[in-house]
Amino acid sequence: MIIGIDLGTTNSLAAVFKDGEVKMIPNRLGEYLTPSVVSIDQSGTVLVGKTAKEYAYLHPLDSASVFKRSMGTNRVYDLGGRQFKAEELSSLVLRSLKEDAEHYLGCEVEEAIISVPAYFNDFQRKATKEAGELAGLKVSRIINEPTAAAIAHGIGNGTGDERCLVFDLGGGTFDVSILEFFDNVMEVHAVAGDNFLGGEDFTQALAVDFLEKAAIAPESLGLRTMSDVLKAAEAAKCSFSEQSEVTLSVNVDGESVSRTYTLAEYEEICKPLLERLRKPIERSIRDANIKIEDIDRIILVGGATRLPIVKTFVVKLFKRFLGALVDPDMAVAQGAAIQCAMKERDEEIKEVVLTDVCPFTLGTEVTVYNGLFDEAGHYLPIIERNTIIPVSRRQTVYTAHDNQSRVDVKILQGESRIAENNVLLGRLSVPVPPGPKGKEAIELVYTYDINSLLEVEVTVLSSGVKRRIIVQNEENKISEEEAEERFKKLEYLKQNPRDEEATKLQLLRGERLYEESSGELRERIDRAMMDFERVLSKQDRREIEKAREELAHFLDTIEYDIN
């Protein structure tokens, strides 16, 4: 079985195309959104999702979140005395989604299509594939999030030719893409974005303002109180979807600090963030060589587009109403699932040929004559940013020195005019017959496929000598043994049994609420927890389930009282 996965910065989701329609897959707690959070508890057990999020509240140092931002880098996370790379943490989230899907579907899930921001570079895409493989999933395709969202909105499904802009503001990233659908072909025309702008920044802005107005220096707060402030800010931010005034209250050193914000005040606080949304939009429109009026439809994706101030910003900028047919949280996973069906050639879906764009320019380093002397270290773009892929481009270069015996071709990715400022993806060296400079012509062929794999072929035209490489990043390249070892390390990590997850979640909630409350309320929580632990010790499943439901209900009322 194959499923579609939206591996998000804040939350991850899975969906499947079954019986002619898309179905969202609930996780072990019966919810569609699984927070992309991983913790390792004191017993060395891995917690994923909502349980990890609760655990993170009490043990921030043994928990990790927002690791999607570090995919494909060498950043190491220290959790419970073990070290993890971002792709390993992602693989734990994927493994949890895989298990949930298997439970829901009643069959094994071996394959997945995983979405990534259109702006992800080669390393990040490869790291995502690797995360899937570490989770025991064959990643048959990586799909760009906006492409998936557009598919979920029915674009490319018999609705006629259309040009749309996908505005995706998630927890940690912002992506803008312009897609065009015509003659049964979906084309991604331009992508732009900000990898460091998302809903969390809108939470942060409110938290910072709250502390500033209360004359509290953030440095003076402990990790826990800071986490309380952020939690209150997050809740307040989300309340703006329903009300135009929200109150933030936090207990700081035993004293309750509170402040009420109107939507207008909040909009003012977020002005710099809203301004930052403008740039990638303008750039994508410029890159696609169109005008704002040429866009037929605006598609909002990502949890943070629920924010009224973001919606107002979009309406003002584009001067039009927004049609919201698909839940902004679900669209990407649904699109990925539809793509699975396309892959399997399911009859229900009209086949659409998808084309994506290459998000960065790919090129090589050359020496150029600047009018006075030959200057080395220049960048020569070969495949320009936003070129529709798959694509193959040829470029001829010449020897730069007299009697040069080899040509060293650097394969670069980036936008800088100076070669060394761009990312070195790989290199190829070919022998050339010695002679005067400029005599030998060398042909470079860059081919970029839809899975973001880059093939480079170098041919010395006079001798016919050829070299070829499929680009792999040296820094991130791992040997088969190393991959095996990493896989084992993850495989042997104990994971919480599915059935115990709900119990663990309520126990952690109880602990947190105990810490957040005081006096008589505390005593009541303590008694409820002890009662529940007594039932747990009896190990009777049915009794545990009943007691757990009662405890959850009781904790809900406490949570309501506190907030």
- Interface with ligand AMP by CB under 6 A: which residues? 8-11, 170-171, 198-200, 203, 234, 237-238, 241, 302-304, 306-307, 329
Kindly tell me which of 66 and 535 has the beta carbon lying closer to ligand AMP: 66
DSSP 270: T
**What are the phi and psi torsion angles at 46 (to 5°)?**
-85, 130
- Our CB check for ligand AMP shows the closer of 86 and 425 to be 86
Tokens 């994971």 belong to residue: 495
Q: In the structure encoding, which two tokens stand for residue 417, read together?
A: 């005019």
CB of 168 to ligand AMP, least distance (A): 8
Residue 345 — left, alpha, or beta (φ > 0 → left; ψ -120 to 50 → alpha)?
Answer: left
- Residue among 229 and 460 whose Cβ is closer to ligand AMP: 229
Nearer of residues 10 and 339 to ligand AMP, judged by Cβ: 10
Q: How far is the CB of 245 from ligand AMP (least distance, A)?
A: 15
- Collect all residues with Cβ–Cβ distance below 8 Å to 286 and sequence separation of at least 6: none
Measured from the CB of residue 66, what is the shortest distance to ligand AMP in angstroms? 10
Nearer to ligand AMP, 7 or 165 (CB): 7
Task: Give whichever of 66 and 423 is closer to ligand AMP, judged by the CB atom.
Answer: 66
- Residue with Cβ nearer ligand AMP (301 or 432): 301
Least distance (Å) between residue 239 CB and ligand AMP: 8
CB 211 within 8 A of CB 229: yes
Nearer to ligand AMP by C-beta: 198 or 363? Answer: 198
C-alpha span between 336 and 7 (Å, rounded): 11
CB of 308 to ligand AMP, least distance (A): 8
End-to-end CA distance of the chain: 43
Closest approach of ligand AMP to the CB of residue 553, in Å: 24
Helix (H) or strand (E) run with residue 126 in it: helix 122-134
Tokens 């071709």 locate to 409
d(CA 263, CA 246): 8
* Rounded (5°) CA angle 253-515-41: 120
Question: Whole-angstrom Cα distance, residue 461 to residue 458?
Answer: 9
**25, 97, 133, 478, 491 from 136: Cα distances, Å:** 18, 11, 5, 17, 9
The b-or-e profile of 269-306 (16+ CB within 10 A means b, else e) is bbeebbeebeebbeebbebbebeeeebbbbbbbbbbbb
- Judged by beta carbon, residue 241 or residue 429, the one nearer ligand AMP is 241
Structure tokens at 204: 């942060």
Q: Which residues pair with 526 in a beta bridge?
A: none
Q: Which is nearer to ligand AMP, 331 or 428 (CB)?
A: 331
402 conformational bin, left if phi > 0, alpha if psi -120 to 50, beta if neither: beta
> Can you tell me the distance from the alpha carbon of 143 to that of 146, in angstroms, rounded to the nearest whole number?
9
Cβ nearer to ligand AMP, comparing 192 with 304: 304
Residue 125 Cβ vs ligand AMP, minimum distance, rounded to whole Å: 18
From the CA atom positions of the chain, what is the Rg in Å? 26
Of 343, 354, 327, which Cα lies nearest the Cα of 17?
343
Of 34 and 517, which CB lies nearer to ligand AMP in the complex structure?
Answer: 34
Shortest gap between Cβ of 313 and ligand AMP (angstroms)? 13
Rounded to the nearest whole angstrom, what is the least distance from the CB of residue 207 to ligand AMP in the complex?
12
Beta bridge partners of residue 423, listed in sequence order: 413
Q: For residue 513, what are its two tokens? A: 């609420």
In order of 55, 56, 172, the CA distances from 224 in angstroms are: 12, 10, 22
Q: In angstroms, what is the minimal distance from the CB of 49 to ligand AMP?
A: 13
In whole angstroms, the minimum distance from the beta carbon of 33 to ligand AMP comes to: 7
Shortest reach from residue 153's CB to ligand AMP, in Å? 16
